[in-house]
């Protein structure tokens, strides 16, 4: 395999058996995964008497913010049940009781998961997301440091081993030469193609992103995980979780700028992660991805910034898989644009002639752009326009990531 080009081969023998090991790139489809439960809700006493929740009690108040008042109500805004938890920085809303208007859960901020409500108390539950900030994050937001910031680290660049789902797994990590423990770095999770290796991703400078980070004087931390049998499957969702948790705890990264990318089967696992890890991954780029013959969990359809590339003569992970109306990169673009609140045109502009075409969907929610790039080429992570020798995919990817 050279220059990111390879003929992915169909290994999966039975299309649709998602629970089994899926080894092929772009074949049969299937779904799996679990759905998380919703938080309950609670209110205080109806008469302001000393009840167990939000009652006036002997002190006549239910908390420093949400007093019982004349009706003893714990507040009607954002009250959460006993299972609700706020983000690590979320506090109760102004009306008391739960997350309210000010205390949403998770990095992408869904208010209904806010802090447990007991008559005006602030939310003290466990973190509901990676950073606990509420609502959609605007571009160019201030960094949110991980737990590893401000602490000396013993982690060095190179091949590492981590235990995930009871197995020893390996990955390569690249830390800036002049690592600063007080600087929250961007974090890139870069997955290899079918039959590829983490070492090959490193040799390609993490899909060409590292040289661009260096040139921009914006060094980042890169990880290239290694798939079992050089492929990706369901347990690799846990691998992502475990590596990200380790990096957050032991290195200084910006938890609101965690990015994912990969080529071919690496683009497919990137897509797979993007459908239920929106609170962890700020933006993702699928290079020649497909939406079938890869483990897919139950999709949450929460928004995520998304970009993809496809060569229109790619027969391995095509724009449209034959006559299918659901399989192919086109349908990934439509799905992401829909989830992001964008307007989906009847005909998505794609390459017809000349240089590559990148279509930015219009009307997307702030912070959730969706971009589909097509070009005259096959199954590759390296594409050049006429008259140039420069691979435009890393440049467009870097610009997409760094708009945040």
Residue 392 CA, distance from chain mean position: 23
In this prediction the pTM is: 0.71
The pLDDT of residue 136: 72
Mean pLDDT value across residues 351-376: 98
Mean pLDDT value across residues 250-271: 98
Give the E-state strand segments of 206-333 in sequence order: 221-225, 253-263, 283-287, 305-311
The pLDDT of residue 80: 37
Give CA–CA dist 199/27, Å, rounded: 26
The pLDDT of residue 138: 84
The pLDDT of residue 137: 84
pLDDT of 29 above 80: no
Mean pLDDT value across residues 307-319: 98
The pLDDT of residue 208: 98
Mean pLDDT value across residues 78-98: 37
The pLDDT of residue 25: 55
Residue 385, H or E segment: none
Band the pLDDT of 70: cuts 50, 70, 90: very low
Beta bridge partners of 41: none
Mean pLDDT value across residues 292-300: 98
Angle of helix 392-401 relative to helix 205-215, nearest 10 degrees, comes to 60
Give the E-state strand segments of 289-397 in sequence order: 305-311, 357-360, 370-375
The pLDDT of residue 207: 98
Mean pLDDT value across residues 302-316: 98
> Is the separation of the CB atoms in 115 and 124 below 8 Å?
yes
Mean pLDDT value across residues 167-191: 98
pLDDT of 129 above 80: no
Tally of CA atoms within 13 A in the half-sphere of 1 that contains its CB: 23
pLDDT of 86 above 70: no
pLDDT of 237 above 60: yes
pLDDT digits (tens, 9 = 90+) for 326-363: 999 999 999 999 999 999 999 999 999 999 999 999 99
Q: Which domains does the chain have, with CATH numbers?
A: 158-401 (3.40.50.1820)
Give CA–CA dist 401/284, Å, rounded: 8
The pLDDT of residue 26: 65
The pLDDT of residue 381: 98
Mean pLDDT value across residues 170-184: 98
């Amino acid at each position: 395999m050279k220059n990111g080009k390879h003929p992915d081969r169909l290994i999966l023998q039975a299309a649709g058996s998602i629970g089994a090991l899926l080894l092929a790139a772009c074949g049969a489809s299937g779904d799996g995964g679990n759905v998380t439960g919703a938080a309950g809700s609670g209110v205080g006493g109806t008469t302001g008497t000393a009840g167990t929740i939000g009652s006036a009690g002997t002190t006549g108040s239910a908390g420093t913010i949400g007093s019982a008042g004349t009706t003893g109500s714990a507040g009607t805004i954002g009250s959460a049940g006993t299972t609700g938890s706020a983000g690590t920085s979320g506090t109760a809303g102004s009306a008391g009781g739960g997350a309210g208007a000010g205390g949403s859960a998770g990095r992408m901020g869904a208010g209904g998961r806010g802090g447990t409500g007991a008559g005006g108390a602030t939310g003290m539950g466990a973190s509901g997301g990676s950073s606990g900030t509420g609502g959609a994050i605007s571009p160019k937001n201030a960094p949110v440091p991980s737990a590893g910031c401000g602490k000396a680290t013993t982690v060095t660049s190179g091949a590492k081993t981590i235990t995930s789902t009871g197995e020893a797994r390996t990955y390569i990590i690249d830390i800036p030469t002049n690592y600063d423990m007080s600087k929250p770095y961007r974090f890139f999770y870069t997955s290899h193609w079918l039959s590829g290796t983490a070492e090959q991703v490193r040799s390609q400078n993490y899909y060409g992103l590292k040289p661009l980070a260096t040139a921009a004087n914006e060094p980042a931390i890169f990880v290239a995980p290694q798939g079992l049998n050089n492929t990706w499957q369901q347990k690799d969702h846990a691998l992502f979780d475990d590596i990200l948790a380790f990096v957050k705890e032991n290195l200084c990264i910006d938890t609101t700028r965690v990015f994912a990318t990969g080529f071919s089967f690496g683009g497919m696992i990137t897509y797979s992660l993007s459908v239920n890890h929106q609170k962890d991954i700020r933006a993702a780029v699928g290079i020649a991805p497909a939406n079938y013959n890869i483990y897919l969990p139950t999709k949450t359809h929460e928004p995520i910034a998304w970009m993809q590339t496809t060569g229109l003569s790619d027969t391995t992970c095509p724009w449209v898989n034959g006559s299918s109306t659901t399989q192919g990169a086109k349908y990934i673009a439509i799905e992401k644009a829909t989830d992001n609140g964008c307007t989906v045109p009847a005909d998505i502009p794609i390459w017809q002639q000349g240089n590559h075409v990148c279509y930015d969907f219009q009307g997307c929610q702030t912070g959730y752009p969706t971009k589909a790039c097509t070009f005259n080429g096959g199954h590759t992570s390296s594409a050049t326009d006429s008259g140039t020798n420069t691979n435009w995919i890393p440049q467009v990817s870097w610009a997409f990531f760094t708009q945040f």
